[in-house]
Amino acid sequence: MSISLAELATRLGVPWRGAAEVALTHVAQLDQAESGSLSFLGDPAYRPYLATTRAAAVIVKPSDAAGAPVPLLLSENPYLTFAQAAQLLHPEPEVVGGIHPSAVVDPSAQVDPSAWIGPLSVLEAGASVGPRVFVGPSCILGAGVSIGADSRLVARVTLCAGTQIGERALIHPGAVIGRAGFGFAKDGERWVRIPQLGRAVLGDDVEVGANTTVDRGAMRDTVLGHGVKLDNLIQIGHNVVVGEHTAMAAKTGISGSTQIGRYCTLAGAVGVVGHLEIGDNVHFTGMTMVTRSFKEPGVYSSGIPAMPSADWRRNVARLKQLDTLTRRVKQLETLLANMNATPEREESEWMEP
Amino acid sequence: MSISLAELATRLGVPWRGAAEVALTHVAQLDQAESGSLSFLGDPAYRPYLATTRAAAVIVKPSDAAGAPVPLLLSENPYLTFAQAAQLLHPEPEVVGGIHPSAVVDPSAQVDPSAWIGPLSVLEAGASVGPRVFVGPSCILGAGVSIGADSRLVARVTLCAGTQIGERALIHPGAVIGRAGFGFAKDGERWVRIPQLGRAVLGDDVEVGANTTVDRGAMRDTVLGHGVKLDNLIQIGHNVVVGEHTAMAAKTGISGSTQIGRYCTLAGAVGVVGHLEIGDNVHFTGMTMVTRSFKEPGVYSSGIPAMPSADWRRNVARLKQLDTLTRRVKQLETLLANMNATPEREESEWMEP
Amino acid sequence: MSISLAELATRLGVPWRGAAEVALTHVAQLDQAESGSLSFLGDPAYRPYLATTRAAAVIVKPSDAAGAPVPLLLSENPYLTFAQAAQLLHPEPEVVGGIHPSAVVDPSAQVDPSAWIGPLSVLEAGASVGPRVFVGPSCILGAGVSIGADSRLVARVTLCAGTQIGERALIHPGAVIGRAGFGFAKDGERWVRIPQLGRAVLGDDVEVGANTTVDRGAMRDTVLGHGVKLDNLIQIGHNVVVGEHTAMAAKTGISGSTQIGRYCTLAGAVGVVGHLEIGDNVHFTGMTMVTRSFKEPGVYSSGIPAMPSADWRRNVARLKQLDTLTRRVKQLETLLANMNATPEREESEWMEP
């Protein structure tokens, strides 16, 4: 793949400066660029690299263009333009339709002729694979699974019976979608399984990371809306509904029947308990423990940042006495007030609810 | 599957009221029920739905039966009765014995004629599969693995060499059982692996979730007792012993050589360090960090619930000074005591140990 | 396998005492040992077992040798010597070269004749497998993957395109190495994927646990140095670099572009945010939340240990008011100071920065 600066600018719909015919073959960081490289300048901290880069062209904000010694693409959002350019320069290989002879395909499965079914994959009864879908090696499509056009199952994806995948999905190795969720009634000391009769239903443009698990619903569906992006090793419990364009980083877990809004971000290893309602545009920082609903947009956090272990031991010992400490302070305040030495502060500043 | 109210009541051993012949075909929630639906009323909060439900029949407590406009099944534990009814109405398909021609089965493996070995599964030397066992597609049974009657490996389960599975187990896709555990001796700067010679031994009625990992023991076995239920993405370290009917929610991890008692529940993402002893009937709430043994029954917790990030930053900054703050309060108390104004509280209330 | 005490001592390079010809066939714990067992005494707490053990021989420190009633191997590091002895007594079976007929091997893949490719494994174009490599059942080696001599892929390992594995690696089932990392630019409300063009590059003697995920780099490589040991269910983000001989316990996660030094240990479920720099010889205890760089050697911690839930609820309620409580204490101090009763302590002891 090689494309001229001028043609790339046209395809991206952005202005350019410099040699129209310079050939771009790949993307690279500013400080690692060489002949043929397209780079970008996002964070102003990297501006010094612009003077010395060997990139063939660089995507910059118009306000960073002055004096740049290389051909430029101009964009108000260089990182986004870079992502789009990278997709053009490094396209996924086109899917060549066909079924590998080692795949095991039930006669009732429907595979679009333009779709690829990789080696050692299994398609069970009634599975349906749309146009230009790529099913990599060793995938399992259970009975009644449906995959929309242009989706990619990289390799070793397990879609349990009934799972519905929209268009342009990207599912990474080891993902297990549509597992019967974790639901039991108690019979004395024993657990009795509740049949899980819902499905896992994923919208268009959804991404599911490696070894991530998405359980099917119990009596309704588990739903990931359009554009949801899940990183690796995430757990989505049964009946969970995730709104459109919400993204979750690795190792996050959402317990059963919780609803997550649209445009949310959950950083790594966040835990959300079940049956909550999280609104749109809610953002949780890494390792946050979410034990109640948050319906208002905002950024929420919890957890204690790392400190030297000796300090930590001292502080957590005190933390176990924090309720007592608070009472002691209140007592001191009362005592002093009784000594006619009332504190000179606003009561409301610290009054407990 | 269709069953009359009267027959279902007989099979469940519970009383019923209303039209004996009403046909039940499936379970559904009260508010989503329709013709043929069997629903249940557990949480009293849903009682208003009882008046308007379109369910064909509803399982209720006898105390909720008065005035209900639909046929009823009466149970002191509606949720349990519902689970049992759901299993009757939505049975697992019967296992049809046989070995898919694409499976790779060592000649020394023993497969009961009533068991099914799915496509592209691998049975290594000496593996043993009991009656009516279902081995789904792409499972791996290592050398010497044994699986008891009526167990189900949904798909893509890995049982490493020597793993023993009891009867009626349910193992979900991506589970890896019997991996050689994480044990090393230090040789200067290098790690030297300790051979892991024990097995993973699972009792009857055990469930293992998707992408959960259970390591084999080092010199003895890792053991999951009868009725243990593990959700997805759980880690069980080598030599761990889990008592009967203990359940763990997703993303929990148990470090090596820890013993967990019977009838415990570990909510999601709990972490338990190694070499501890947890008693029977111990319950940990979500994301609890367990750093010492808890031998007494009870509910234990840790972690900080989410709050707005600005508040969180202020509070954790203070937390790092909590030991100091406690000392400051003690100093104030001493000072006031010296001013002959002793606090009017019980010393014992807050005295530190 | 059976080896005499004298021969084992020679091969391990340690002194011995007792019957030269006693036959050792396996390792076992002191209290479970029997005829043929080799045991070790590490922790002095187990010294009483030495008097009654039925082991054929025991590895002890020279200072523990006096009066022991069994043949001995003497070592200043009994656990290390035990690990080495266990590897001799319980060797991995020798790899027999060949390719199982059910494997799907691209004609352009290069497999050393001494390597084994197991049943139902897939080798894509240009994959390269070195001498005496063991590729267990159902592994996937993507295009251009390279595996160095004497490495073992136990079973069901996924190496995505371009992944490089050094010599003597040990990769456990379910591991996914070289997945395209989690990188997006924002286009209004939508996420636009950034092509991930780097590789995952693992040094020699690296171990990767079951269902662990190691993402490929975005524009450079993700790198695990020589001797790195990863337990199960770990996430390594794109562009991460892990220094030599660093070990991580299960469920730890390292976010993108973070660098971890050499000789570090990360206990279970540690979380490290992205773009940090962690120095050599840094140790994090279990469940630590790492939100800033730690360049100095040391032990670091965070998190709240479990306590009875009732206590926890009281204390975390107070924790949310900790900033306010700190201000209240300061006010009391000011007030008392104004009463001419200045505290008798060093200001610097608790002055805030």
Which residues of B are known catalytic residues?
A: 238
| Predicted local confidence at residue A340, as pLDDT | 55
| Mean pLDDT score, B24-37 | 95
Which sign does the torsion angle of CA A181, A185, A191, A196 carry?
negative
Residue of B nearest to A337 (CA): B341
The verdict on C93 touching B (C-beta cutoff 8 Å) is: no
Closest CA–CA distance from residue B41 to any residue of chain C (Å)? 30
Q: How many CB atoms lie within 10 A of CB A100?
A: 16
Q: Where are the beta strands (DSSP E) in A197-337?
A: 200-202, 207-208, 213-215, 222-224, 229-230, 235-236, 241-242, 247-248, 253-254, 259-260, 265-266, 271-272, 277-278, 282-284, 289-290, 298-301, 307-308
Q: Give yes or no for a contact between C146 and C126, defined as CB atoms under 8 angstroms apart.
A: no
Could you tell me if B279 and B154 lie in one domain?
A: yes
Residue, of A16 and C338, whose pLDDT is higher: A16
Could you tell me if B316 and B295 lie in one domain?
A: no
Interchain pair C324, A155: CB under 8 A: no
| Predicted local confidence at residue C345, as pLDDT | 45
Closest CA–CA distance from residue A115 to any residue of chain B (Å)? 22
Residue of C nearest to B218 (CA): C28
A vs C: CB pairs below 8 A:
235
- To which residue do tokens 């719909």 refer? A13
| Predicted local confidence at residue C336, as pLDDT | 85
- Report residue A120 as tokens: 């050692």
Could you tell me if C150 and C212 lie in one domain?
A: yes
**Domain end residue (candidates: A260, A277, A300):** A300
Nearest to C274 by CA among A269, A303, A245, A59: A269
B vs C: CB pairs below 8 A:
234
Closest CA–CA distance from residue C258 to any residue of chain A (Å)? 14
Interchain pair B209, A324: CB under 8 A: no
Interface mutation target, options B292, B300, B322, B340, chain A, most CBs of A under 10 Å: B322
Could you tell me if C185 and C322 lie in one domain?
A: no
Closest CA–CA distance from residue C113 to any residue of chain A (Å)? 23
Interchain pair B205, A185: CB under 8 A: no
Active-site entry in C26, C90, C172, C238: C238
Per cent of chain A over pLDDT 70 is 96
Could you tell me if A186 and A236 lie in one domain?
A: yes
pLDDT band with cut points at 50, 70 and 90 for residue B351:
very low
Partners of residue B304 in chain A, C-beta under 8 Å: 289, 302-304
pLDDT averaged over every residue in chain A: 94
DSSP for B4-38, written as a single string: EHHHHHHHHT--EES-TT-EE-EE--GGG--TTEE
Q: Which positions ≥6 away from A305 have C-beta within 8 Å?
A: B316, C289, C290, C291, C292, C302
Residues 205-234 of C with CB under 8 A from A: 211, 213, 215, 219-220, 233
Specify the range with the lowest mean pLDDT, choosing from A71-85, A285-299, B37-51: B37-51
Which residues of A are known catalytic residues?
A: 238
Could you tell me if B210 and B283 lie in one domain?
A: yes
Interchain pair C210, B179: CB under 8 A: yes
The verdict on A154 touching C (C-beta cutoff 8 Å) is: yes
Residue range of the domain that includes A280: 98-300
SS (H, E, C) B183-209: CEEEECCEEEECCCCCCEEECCCCEEC
Q: Is residue C313 assigned to a domain?
A: no
Interchain pair A308, C298: CB under 8 A: yes
Could you tell me if C136 and C234 lie in one domain?
A: yes
Partners of residue A314 in chain B, C-beta under 8 Å: 323
Q: Is residue B117 assigned to a domain?
A: yes
Interface mutation target, options B135, B232, B245, B332, chain A, most CBs of A under 10 Å: B232
| Predicted local confidence at residue C346, as pLDDT | 41
Query: Looking at the 3D structure of chain C, how many domains does it have?
Result: 3
Could you tell me if B64 and B102 lie in one domain?
A: no
Q: Where are the beta strands (DSSP E) in B28-165?
A: 37-40, 57-60, 72-74, 98-99, 104-105, 110-111, 116-117, 122-123, 128-129, 134-135, 140-141, 146-147, 152-153, 158-159, 164-165
Which of B29, B32, B251 is the closest to A253 by Cβ? Answer: B251
Q: What is the pLDDT of residues B161-209, one digit of tens each?
A: 999 999 999 999 999 999 999 999 999 999 999 999 999 999 999 999 9
Partners of residue B318 in chain C, C-beta under 8 Å: 322-323, 325-326
Residue C64 belongs to domain with CATH number: 3.40.1390.10
- Report residue C65 as tokens: 């040798």
Q: Helix (H, G, I), strand (E, B), or coil: what is residue A278?
A: strand
Q: Is residue C233 assigned to a domain?
A: yes
Q: What is the pLDDT of residues A138-153, one digit of tens each?
A: 999 999 999 999 999 9
Could you tell me if B279 and B316 lie in one domain?
A: no
**Domain end residue (candidates: C89, C121, C142):** C89
| Predicted local confidence at residue C67, as pLDDT | 87
Per cent of chain B over pLDDT 70 is 96
Q: Which positions ≥6 away from C120 have C-beta within 8 Å?
A: A120, A138, B104, B120, B122, B138, C100, C102, C103, C104, C137, C138
The verdict on B334 touching A (C-beta cutoff 8 Å) is: no
Interchain pair A211, B211: CB under 8 A: yes
Q: Is residue B305 assigned to a domain?
A: no
Q: Is residue B335 assigned to a domain?
A: yes
DSSP bridge partners of B59:
B40, B73
Q: Is residue A77 assigned to a domain?
A: yes
- Report residue B338 as tokens: 């010296």
The verdict on A307 touching C (C-beta cutoff 8 Å) is: yes
The verdict on B320 touching C (C-beta cutoff 8 Å) is: no
Per cent of chain C over pLDDT 90 is 90
Could you tell me if C64 and C200 lie in one domain?
A: no
Q: What is the pLDDT of residues A120-175, one digit of tens each?
A: 999 999 999 999 999 999 999 999 999 999 999 999 999 999 999 999 999 999 99
Partners of residue B32 in chain A, C-beta under 8 Å: 219-220
List of chains touching A (3+ CB pairs within 8 A): B, C
Partners of residue A251 in chain B, C-beta under 8 Å: 251
| Predicted local confidence at residue C340, as pLDDT | 55
Could you tell me if B277 and B206 lie in one domain?
A: yes
Nearest to C211 by CA among A175, A182, B138: A175
Q: What is the pLDDT of residues A179-234, one digit of tens each?
A: 999 999 999 999 999 999 999 999 999 999 999 999 999 999 999 999 999 999 99
Closest CA–CA distance from residue A26 to any residue of chain C (Å)? 10
Q: Is residue A307 assigned to a domain?
A: no
| Predicted local confidence at residue C343, as pLDDT | 47
Residues 166-205 of C with CB under 8 A from B: 170, 172-174, 205
Closest CA–CA distance from residue C40 to any residue of chain B (Å)? 12
| Predicted local confidence at residue B340, as pLDDT | 55
Q: Is residue B306 assigned to a domain?
A: no
The residues of chain C scoring below 50 in pLDDT are 341-353
Partners of residue A299 in chain B, C-beta under 8 Å: 308-309
Could you tell me if C132 and C227 lie in one domain?
A: yes
Residue C172 is a catalytic residue:
no
Residue C109 belongs to domain with CATH number: 2.160.10.10
Residues 106-145 of C with CB under 8 A from A: 120, 122, 124, 138, 140, 142
Cα dihedral B17, B19, B22, B28, rounded to 10, equals -40
| Predicted local confidence at residue A344, as pLDDT | 47
The verdict on A314 touching B (C-beta cutoff 8 Å) is: yes
**Domain end residue (candidates: B89, B124, B144):** B89
| Residue B297 in this model has a pLDDT that exceeds 70 | yes
| Predicted local confidence at residue A339, as pLDDT | 79
